[in-house]
């Protein structure tokens, strides 16, 4: 089975979407041929769009922006829809790995709905989506085994998604948060990320709490 792994993050390197694809890879590589696409670096070529039309499975990994799909990936979907309608010769299943900066995985539901509706327009099958909260934690958990500690929920969800991909089945959305207390996540994010970002942009920590 030919599987396209599409990193839809705007970041050229070090993206959480790339981390999630890397976690999924060993769970689906057996018996399949994986093909990687990075439209965040440069737009896909006509040849690459045609290649996607010959895949059995497309896996999209991306972060949400204002609860939706990043603009460059949305443009890819618009273009790919036309190619699929004219060149698709087989049944194609779509799966998604979505992350967001909020704690709750439910925040990804709207983006999943958008992708689901696109599948209906493009004439392909929406298989299943995984929405992970607290995405910015992933970069600091590289030494934590998948399925252990803060990654316990993610491990279970990725195994479930991998089973759906291997069998090309559909399933309910997998919307998860990390196995990490919300108050601890908020404290850690404030001191290790938000305050640093504020300082970089000439702001003080108190400015983050200012009401507009």
Average pLDDT, the chain: 88
**More reliable by pLDDT, 50 or 67:** 50
> Which pTM value belongs to this model?
0.87
Domains of the chain, each with CATH number or no CATH = 2-180 (3.40.50.360), 183-212 (no CATH)
Q: What is the DSSP letter of 43?
A: P
34 — pLDDT class (breaks 50, 70, 90): very high
Residue by residue, DSSP assigns 137-183 as GGGG-TTSPTTSGGGHHHHHHHHHHHHHHHHT-----EEE--SS-HH
pLDDT digit string, tens, across residues 15-31? 889 999 999 999 999 99
């Amino acid at each position: 089975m030919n599987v396209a792994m599409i990193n839809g993050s705007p970041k050229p390197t070090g993206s959480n979407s790339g981390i999630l694809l890397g976690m999924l890879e060993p769970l689906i590589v057996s018996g399949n041929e994986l093909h990687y696409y990075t439209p965040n670096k440069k737009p896909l070529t006509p040849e690459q769009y045609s290649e996607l039309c010959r895949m059995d499975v497309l896996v999209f990994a991306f972060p949400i922006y204002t609860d939706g799909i990043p603009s460059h990936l949305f443009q890819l979907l618009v273009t790919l829809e036309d190619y699929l309608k004219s060149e698709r010769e087989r049944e194609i299943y779509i799966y998604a790995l979505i992350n967001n900066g909020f704690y709750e995985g439910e925040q990804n539901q709207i983006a999943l709905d958008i992708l689901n509706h696109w599948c209906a327009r493009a004439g392909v099958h929406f298989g299943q989506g995984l929405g992970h909260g607290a995405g910015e934690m992933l970069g600091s958990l590289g030494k934590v085994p998948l399925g252990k500690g803060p990654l316990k929920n993610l491990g279970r969800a990725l195994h479930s998604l991998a089973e759906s991909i291997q069998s090309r089945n559909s399933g309910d959305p997998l919307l998860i948060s990390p196995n990490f207390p919300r108050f601890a996540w908020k404290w850690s994010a404030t001191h290790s990320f938000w305050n640093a970002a504020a300082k970089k942009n000439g702001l003080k920590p108190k400015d983050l709490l200012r009401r507009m």
